[in-house]
Amino acid sequence: MSTRDTPEQIGDLPRIGRPANSALLLQGLTTLAEVAAFGKAQLGELHGVGPKAIRILSEAIAAADIEWAD
């Protein structure tokens, strides 16, 4: 899947950029709860998910009163 074909926003996830969205979609992650359960460490290993995307996701996860798995 080209990042050009990746949606700008997925489910209840904040806007984190198409490369990060593409990486999440390849893992089947479409919600904040799924991302949190996947874990911050594993998320950081995905190609396309950088520190900025992790920071934005962390803020959204905290605001939703969800905790990271790791």
Q: How distant is the alpha carbon of residue 24 from its chain centre? A: 5
Residue 10: which of 57, 64, 62 has the closest Cα? 57
Q: Is residue 68 within 8 Å of 38, Cβ to Cβ?
A: no
Q: Is residue 60 within 8 Å of 14, Cβ to Cβ?
A: yes
pLDDT tens digits in sequence order for the chain, 70 residues long: 456 677 788 889 999 999 999 999 999 999 999 999 999 999 999 999 999 999 999 999 999 999 999 7
pLDDT value of position 8: 80
Q: Taking the domains of the chain in order of start, what are their residue ranges?
A: 3-63
Task: Please tell me the pTM assigned to this model.
Answer: 0.89
